Structure 1
Amino acid sequence: MKEIKVPELAESITEGTVAEWLVKEGDQVEKGDPVVELETDKVNVEVNSDFSGVIAEVLVEEGDDVEVGDTIAKVDESGEASGSSDSDDSKDEDESKEESKEVSKEEKEDSKEDKKEEKESKDDSEEESKEDSKEDKSDQPVASPATRKRARELGIDLNEIKPKDPVGRISKEDVEAAAKSKSDEGKKKSSKKEDKSADKTEFDKPVERVKMSRRRQTIAKRLVEAQQNAAMLTTFNEVDMSNVMKLRSERKDDFLEKHGVKLGFMSFFTKAVVAALKEFPLVNAEIQGDEIVKKQFYDIGMAVSTEEGLVVPVVRDADRLSFAGIESEIGELAKKARDGKLTLNELQGGSFTITNGGIFGSLNSTPIINAPQVGILGLHKIEKRPMVMDDDSIEVRPMMHIAMSYDHRLIDGREAVQFLVRVKELIEDPYDLLLEG
């Protein structure tokens, strides 16, 4: 019997959740066939069988957490797929039916005998209780008629009272004290019941509880860690998108015909970010212990929203790509993200991240740093607003709020503001940006 184990997934991934079994017990598999899909922190990974044979046993269920090296199934290399010997199966079924009939007969006879014994024991216990009650009457507590009356009024059993009188006579004071003690105990029990009922009925109206996916749990954990471990601040500015929109409108048809991709805004912002990172290298760094690691490459993460949650695939060497190369890479990564086909390599690394909440209508936000990076740029919805020009005239311009969150442990406010201003300048003068590119 051979074992299928969880293989090494990636350097930073040691566990996953069983998302879906692609085979079941009794199925024939060949070496290299996928048998189960695991959901990890970043992507879903298929685990293949290292052996040919029949799935003899599935050891974990869908939804279970597993670690690298865990045995998740067993393969019988000499076995045959289920359903290969119908005649044997039918014989086994007939034999099992006959056995079940015999067992049912025996069970009926046993149940009759059990009922008879239960009745006899019940009669014996009733007789014993009657004898006990007779004996109890002869051992009545000593109390006056007035005390007995008061005990009846308060619902107190005199047999449960320990009298203070050394002779053993129960007084009214003993009854009153017992009633008070009983009342206090009742209040405590009722308060406990109220607490328990409050826990059970947290909501007065119907709710649905759904277990968080491993990816959503990881996203939640890392976002909280980013806020707890970094001195995070956000600086804001606004960009006049007039010139970029004009240039894009003039060149979009030729661009699409020549390169096969649409000219969007993300390539402009990616180029502007790369140029600004070269001027402010600390924004392209990270903290490791007591050291600052300044990255000499420009791998830009692009936050993409999917049904599974937010993922950040990385555009590698964005400084070496043309506008068309960036747009093509962003489009391919976004499609893979939506289809759930991103690889671990496409999600790892990155030196700076861009997130665009404007596609959902966000006018402003404070993006959270994608640790261990120390900066993230947030883009927002373009809105026409009246703007005062240099000659004091007022014009309606398409404006976008931009926000940069940064780790104040490494980046001072001056650098963060200047970085964002440089991005603004390059977007507002895209021809200069083309020369920079």
Structure 2
Amino acid sequence: MSEIKVPELAESITEGTISEWLVKKGDKVEKGEAVVELETDKVNVEVNTDYAGVITEIVAEEGDDVEVGEVIAKLDENGEASGSDSDEGKKEESPEPEKSEPTEEKSQEPEKEDKQEKQDKEDKQDDSSDSNQDVIASPAARKRARELGIDLSDVQPRDPLGRIRPEDVDSAAKGGSDQKESKPAKKEEPKQSEKTEFDKPVERIKMSRRRQTIANHLVGVQQEAAMLTTFNEVDMSAIMELRNKRKEDFKEKHGVKLGFMSFFTKAVIGALKDFPLLNAEIQGKEIVKKKFYDIGIAVSTDEGLVVPVVRDADKLDFAGVEKEIGDLGKKAINKELALNDLQGGTFTITNGGTFGSMLSTPILNSPQVGILGMHNIQKRPVVMPDDSIEVRPMMYLAVSYDHRIVDGKEAVQFLVRIKELLEDPYDLLLEG
């Protein structure tokens, strides 16, 4: 008997959720065949079996949280698929017993008792799963709770993000009856709000693991960082004029369109070189200034926001940046991003303008300390240096920053530098 375990995924990922089983009990599989899809905090990963044989048991069901190294299924390398001829033959060979009616009644009584016991166990399992379904807890904590007979909804997490750990379960067990007696009043309120019945139609949808991670991550950033946002506006006339002049030649030469993102990426890199603290992060009591420029580009997908990273963007020309962003965007939409595509990143750019946003305050992508928000381009009357008024294509820009290491003056100057580079894009072309 062989075991199928959750493989090592990445250094920063230690667990996932069973998204979908690609096989079922009794199926025959070949070595290297994908058997299950895991949903992690960042991407979905298919797990392949290292053995050939028949699936004899599925240990973890869809929706279960599992840790790296945990057994999720068992496989018999010498087994045969269910429904085989040999099984049918065995059934045919077994003689049908001819017994008197009293004997049949006696044999049926234990069967009824066994069915009743099974039904009682299933009912108990259903009750416990219902109460624990909405609780965020690690697989180890769930296992510990089952061993101790603790209801996870009675456990008070110490994690600020609300995730229950094994030590929380142990504390609840030691607290005993005192802890249970002190909690009912507090526990009733959230349950009532969660289970509120509505007079009008509603739809309840379980949050995906990725959506829960995004939610906890963003709340954690706001609780930990001293986040502020500064705004400015940029005249897009020069960039739009340059694109119109060069876009045909650019596409013919490089096979990719000349978009706005390459200009903004290059402008961000130029400003980061002048203001390196926005390309840093905090580690304990140290500030780590990064001497490389891995720029994250936020991409919205049906399953949530992902931020693939353009590596060494400062070493790429405009065509290289456009190709990388295009490839990463396609991967994100087709759910083909690898973990390496999402890890790291020194600064992030997000473009709400694609959805029509005029102004927003982007949230930091921790542990980064800066993020640039782009917005919709709209024609507005602008007072020129000679006091004349012209209609120009204008865009609002927003930079959110961590005030713990970035002062307001530096953040404002950083955004002004981006504005200057965008309004005179020929400097970017010369540098890029």
Q: TM-score, normalised by structure 1?
A: 0.77
Aligned partner of 1:21 in structure 2 is: 21
Of 225, 230, 250, the residue aligned with 1:235 is 230
Deviations 1:151-189 (A, max 9, x none): xxxxxxxxxxxxxxxxxxxxxxxxxxxxxxxxxxxxxxx
1:405 aligns with 2:400: yes
Letter in 1 for 2:362: P
Q: Does 1:89 align with 2:84?
A: no
Partners of 2:45 and 2:189 in 1: how far apart?
47
Query: In the TM superposition, what are the counterparts of 1:334-413 in structure 2 within 5 Å?
Result: 334-413=329-408
Equivalent in the alignment of 1:180: none
Alignment partners' CA distance in 2, 1:194 and 1:221? 22
1:81–1:369 distance in 2 versus 1, CA, 3 Å: same
Residues 1:343 and 1:197: Cα distance change in structure 2 (over 3 Å): closer
Letter in 1 for 2:254: H
Question: 2:315 maps to which residue?
Answer: 320
What corresponds to 1:69 in structure 2? Answer: 69
What RMSD, in angstroms, separates the aligned Cα atoms of the two structures? 2.6
Match of 1:138 in 2: none
Structure 2 counterpart SS, 1:257:
helix
- Residue 49 (1) aligns with residue 44 (2): no
Q: For the residues of structure 1 that align with 2:42 and 2:32, how far apart are their CA atoms?
A: 23
Deviation at 1:207, TM superposition (A): 1.3
Letter in 1 for 2:4: I
Whole-angstrom distance in 2 between the partners of 1:373 and 1:28: 47
**CA distance in structure 1 between the partners assigned to 2:237 and 2:293 by the alignment:** 27
Question: Which residue matches 2:115?
Answer: none
The alignment partner of 1:419 has SS state of helix
- Shift of residue 22 of structure 1? 1.1
Secondary structure, counterpart of 2:376 in structure 1 = strand
Q: Which amino acid aligns with 2:266?
A: K
Alignment of 1:258 with 2:244, yes or no, is no
For residues 189-268 of structure 1, what are the structure 2 equivalents within 5 Å? 201-268=196-263
CA-CA distance at 1:82 after TM superposition: 2.1
2:299 maps to which residue? Answer: 304
Aligned to 2:59: 59
- 1:4 deviates by 0.7
Structure 2 CA distance for aligned equivalents of residues 217 and 342 of structure 1: 19
1:102 shift after superposition = 6.9
Q: 1:278 to 1:25 in 2, by over 3 A?
A: same
**1:98 deviation in Å?**
7.1
The structure with the larger Rg is 1
Tell me the amino acid that sits aligned with residue 287 of structure 1: I
Which residue number in structure 2 is paired with residue 272 of structure 1? 267
Match of 2:329, SS? helix
Structure 2 unaligned regions, length at least 5: 110-187
CA offsets 1:43-85 (integer angstroms, 9 cap, x no match): 0111111111111111111111111111001110111122331
Instruction: Report deviation, 1:351.
Output: 0.3
- Matched position secondary structure for 1:329: helix
- Quickly say closer, same or farther: Cα 1:205–1:90, change in 2 above 3 A: farther
Please state how far the C-alpha of 1:196 moved relative to its aligned partner: 9.5
AA aligned opposite 2:20: E
Total equivalences in the alignment: 355
Aligned-partner Cα distance in 1 for 2:417–2:392: 20
Alpha-carbon distance in 2 for matches of 1:399, 1:221: 35
Aligned positions of 1:65-214 closer than 5 A: 65-85=65-85, 88-89=87-88, 92=91, 106=105, 201-214=196-209
The letter of the residue matching 2:382 is M
For residues 346 and 31 of structure 2, what CA distance do their matches in structure 1 show?
39
Q: Which amino acid aligns with 2:73?
A: A
**Cα distance in 1 for residues equivalent to 2:99 and 2:427:** 87
Q: Which residue of 2 aligns with 1:35?
A: 35
Q: Aligned partners of 2:402 and 2:189: how far apart in 1?
A: 47
Q: CA deviation at 1:435?
A: 1.6
